[in-house]
Chain A
Amino acid sequence: MPSFEEIVRPFQTPDITPPKQGTDDVPSVVPNVIVIAGGTGSGKVMQGNYQATSTVYVIKRPKEKTS
């Protein structure tokens, strides 16, 4: 390679030179996209109840009268 070409094209090699990052544009840092679906929920809290009452037969003595 002539001497002047070593100055003009010092980057050029006999083999294929792999591409490299250009200097014209530098990528800006764009943050990743974060999607959060859901989160706070109070669920479905429901109430119930049960009540049962039963009675049986009893003989009740009449109260005596007091004088």
Chain B
Amino acid sequence: MSTFPFYFSWVAPGTPFNPAIHNVQDEEILSFKIEHSEGEIPSLTIEIRNPRIGLLAPGRLVWAWFSWDSQASDGIVALFFGRLVSVPTDLLGEAVTLRFSAQPLNFLVQKQSLAPSLQVRPYWDPVFIDIAHRLDPDSVLEGYSAFWHVDRVFNLVSISDVLVGEDGLISITSSEGFYDSVNLSVDKPPLRSVYVKATVKWTQQAVGTVDMLPQHIQSYSGDGLISGWPKPLASLGAGWTVAYSSAYDVYNVAKTQTITITTSWKNQEKSHNYGDPMSFNQSWTRPIFRCPYLRQVVTSYSKIAIIDQDPDGFNDPTATTSYTDVWVPLWTVSTTLVLRYEAMRQRTEDVRFTLAADLQPVFTDPGGQAANFAQDSELIDVQGSVGLEGPYGTDRGTWAPDTQYYLYDYFIVTVAGIQHAYYVLRDHVSEPAFNEQSTAGVWQPFTYYGQGENVYVGGEVFAVLVSHQSKAGFNAAALDGNGNLIYQFRPNPFSGQRLYSPIPNYRGAWLPSTVYVGNDIVIAPGGTYYKVIIGHTSGSTFDPYGTDPTGQLLFALLLNPAPIGDLSRRSYLPTDRGLWSLEYLIMRARAALVSRSRAVKVTFECPFHLAVYLSCRKNAQLFDSRLPGGQATGKVTSYKLIGVGVDSAPYASITISCAVGNGNAVHEFDGNPTYAAPGYAVIGYQYYTDRETLIGAGDVNYSYPADSPIDDGLVFPLDKTQSVISETITTNPISQEQAIITAYTGSQQQQLFLAQIEAGISEAQAQINLIQSQHISQAQLYEQALAANPSWYELVLNPVVNGPFSTEYDITVSELMVPQQINLAAPSSP
């Protein structure tokens, strides 16, 4: 047996180290080298005497423990656990070289299991990660100044920061480090600044109603107002529609009745004296109004009776009085108008800042030429989406009968064992059974119904003919105040505007043992939405990191709920979630700066026993008078544990990378309160300007962006003040009365009547002519006068489907404070 104090034992996968069992040399070890570099998988290269067997033959063990006998209190120390990567290429020689990898078989699973703990503010933000990579564990590290790390003994996967070793520090004194092995080099120029330009986009959406409040409008031409009043469901353009409306003829002028009153009297005495009244007949026809009106006499005629006591005298014993008149009522129109807005505006926010690092001078400033910036500055240009992915609206789960649904609710309904999803297009209470062609909600008392809607009552569907608010009970023969039928039975219940619209691909809550196809959207048990990338039959529990047999992820993460939160928001970056995005961008820039701040590389060798517990999760400190300041501290970026045979002592070769920062600190600043003096209230009660917040490792701060987006100023939900630019009612009964009076031609007609008499036409015929022609003409003149003096309601609204709106934020960030792991300005000595 060799006296080389190292052991090699073939084992089964997953076998834990047992120094009492694995202290064997299954192969004769000639030399070895364990190598581990930052971000890479540890490897063991071992030279053994050729065993002349098929090392990868079926049934052979390919995993091995490699250990070292410290011959001290540490006993037998495990150095490496890994699997044989391939058969040796030098099979014919007396010695063969085997290469082992410490990559665990569940490497991806371990990374995936770590990912959730790393997906935290401010280091991770799915906003800036495309949908295909949001669940990719490698995308997690973009905001971290860290690399994946695999432990060479336990094969555990973790991450390790590029500056701060999580597993502590080893110090190598000047007497321990091999004098001739120490080497210092400047790797490459440190990165001094990172310019970040990021863009986020979303669709601002909002739905709501604005009540224009009831109006009571008086006009002599109220019919025009009623006929022209906006109808329910009518589109007004630019995102506005009529939700509810009505125009009600308060005094039912349109259906005014005309009455005729006739009275007759005849003298029934048997003897009469001269001059006795003998008969009286009267006929009076007029409309019956309940409202004020204008009345004008158009024609009039009267003739007195003439009697003469002289029997030879002229007698005309009949007296006549007649007139015709025209009546013009003053309408009172009672109106309601409730408008619905469905805002949709594309929004963009750009954020820009430069993060500079506080570094020691390494090179002289080359002088501001563009070519020089390329080596000490970087650009990060990213785009993100903060809007909704997946269905818009409110998830209502599974459809249920007799349930109140609102516009843009969405639900699942299972028909013949297949799930279907639908949007709600109109507020309603659902019918007893689902039908995707349904047009009617269950009739409800004291509810507004618009003309054109359908209602469901007792298994039948009725059309709403008149916009109204329902009474306590349904009456199919109900009339409105003017006698109009409100409902009408619909023989075809599916005739009318539908209540539901299908949503393709949405499958609702994730279910076990269910077939899903690509592009399906499911809600995970935690409420997060996922998109199916690869069709599959689901298992018993939901696993967002589930893969197919080739390792492809089955799901992609959707941003739903949307990062913007309330989709009606005007701005994103000034919100708390927006600050998360901003902080993530700073972390991206910080990661680039920190990684490149390790400009100095120090390599040295030391005795083997000092490095047996070394890993790339540690810092190392080397003391050597030849170094600036006599020492250097850095992150272990690579190391080798080397044994070249029984005749040479094993040793370690270590490389550390040292940050060339100044070791300064940056502070937090609460800012200037805008409401009360500092101390009056706790932070968060009032808005602070110029606030500077530390983030991440506390080595950089930034100022909050001001929340004043550049847009049209509308803040949802809208009220009437915001919605309405102007509202005018143009109706002037007085001017209409004047127009009617002006149109009165009664006196002219009287002159025409007299002219006919003079022309020899009998009075009776002249009167008939007057009534038949001029009377009708007068009515037409009045109608024309009213038509020329219309009444109308004019409303000017702000558009809500407009944009796009774009706002740029220039963010102030402090310098990034970088630790001083080596002082390049300090003196050294030989």
Residues of A within 8 A of B (CB): 2-5, 7-9, 11-28, 30-61
Contacts and interface: CB of A to CB of B under 8 A. Distances in A.
Contacts of B331: 43-44
Contacts of A22: 348-350, 710, 806-808
A21 B320 contact: no
A11 to B, nearest CB: 5
Contacts of B285: 48-50
A11 B377 CA distance: 17
Interface of B: 192-193, 195, 199, 219-230, 236-238, 240, 247, 253-254, 256, 258, 267, 272-287, 295, 298, 305, 307-308, 311-312, 315, 317-329, 331, 335, 337, 346, 348-350, 352-354, 356, 365, 368, 372-373, 376-377, 689-690, 703-706, 708-712, 725, 771, 775, 779, 782-784, 786-787, 790-799, 801-812
B710 A20 contact: yes
Contacts of A39: 224, 228, 790-792
Contacts of B247: 37
Contacts of B282: 50-53
A34 to B, nearest CB: 5
A9 B195 contact: yes
Contacts of B372: 4
Contacts of A61: 311-312
B322 A49 contact: yes
Contact of B279 (A12, A18, A37, A54): A54
Contacts of A20: 710, 807-808
Instruction: Give the one of A39, A44, A60 with max B CB within 10 A.
Output: A44
B193 A15 contact: no
B795 A34 contact: yes
A45 B782 contact: yes
Contacts of B804: 25-28
Contact of B224 (A21, A38, A54): A38
Contacts of A45: 326-328, 779, 782-783, 786
Contact of A21 (B221, B327, B806): B806
Nearest to B707: A19
B258 A53 contact: no
Nearest to B351: A19
Contact of A54 (B280, B287, B797): B280
Given A9-B195, A12-B354, A53-B280, A33 B799 contact: yes
Nearest to A20: B808
6 contacts: A12-B812, A22-B808, A41-B791, A42-B224, A45-B326, A54-B279
Contacts of A18: 706, 708
Contacts of B802: 27-28, 30
Nearest to B195: A8
B807 A42 contact: no
A43 B806 contact: no
Given A25-B348, A34-B795, A48-B327, A41 B808 contact: no
A52 B715 CA distance: 70
Contacts of B335: 37
Given A37-B228, A46-B326, A59 B274 contact: yes
A55 B317 contact: yes
Contacts of B689: 16
Given A8-B193, A35-B795, A48-B287, A21 B710 contact: yes
Nearest to B786: A43
A48 to B, nearest CB: 4
Nearest to A33: B797
Given A50-B323, A52-B321, 4 more contacts: A17-B812, A20-B807, A48-B258, A52-B283
A5 to B, nearest CB: 6
Given A22-B349, A27-B804, A57 B690 contact: no
B812 A15 contact: yes
B493 to A, nearest CB: 32
B272 to A, nearest CB: 4
B278 A16 contact: no
Contacts of A3: 365, 368
A48 B786 CA distance: 19
A33 to B, nearest CB: 4
B790 A5 contact: no
A12 B812 CA distance: 6
A54 B277 contact: yes
B786 A53 contact: no
B786 A38 contact: no
Contacts of A8: 193, 195, 354, 373, 377
Contact of B783 (A11, A17, A42): A42
Contacts of A27: 711-712, 802-805
Contacts of B287: 46, 48
A45 B647 CA distance: 126
B818 to A, nearest CB: 15
A56 B307 contact: yes
Nearest to B258: A46
Instruction: Give the one of A21, A48, A61 with max B CB within 10 A.
Output: A48
Contacts of A42: 221, 223-224, 783-784, 786-787
Contact of A53 (B319, B794, B796, B812): B319
Instruction: Give the one of A2, A41, A56 with max B CB within 10 A.
Output: A41
A25 B711 CA distance: 11
A16 B325 CA distance: 78
A61 B327 CA distance: 47
A9 to B, nearest CB: 4
Given A42-B221, A43-B786, A7 B368 contact: yes
B273 to A, nearest CB: 7
B327 A24 contact: no
A41 B227 contact: yes
A6 B615 CA distance: 42
A24 B349 CA distance: 9
Given A16-B812, A46-B326, A53 B281 contact: yes
A44 B736 CA distance: 13
B312 A48 contact: no
Instruction: Give the one of A22, A28, A36 with max B CB within 10 A.
Output: A22
B325 A5 contact: no
Instruction: Give the one of A2, A15, A38, A58 with max B CB within 10 A.
Output: A38
A36 B792 contact: yes
A17 B356 CA distance: 18
B301 to A, nearest CB: 9
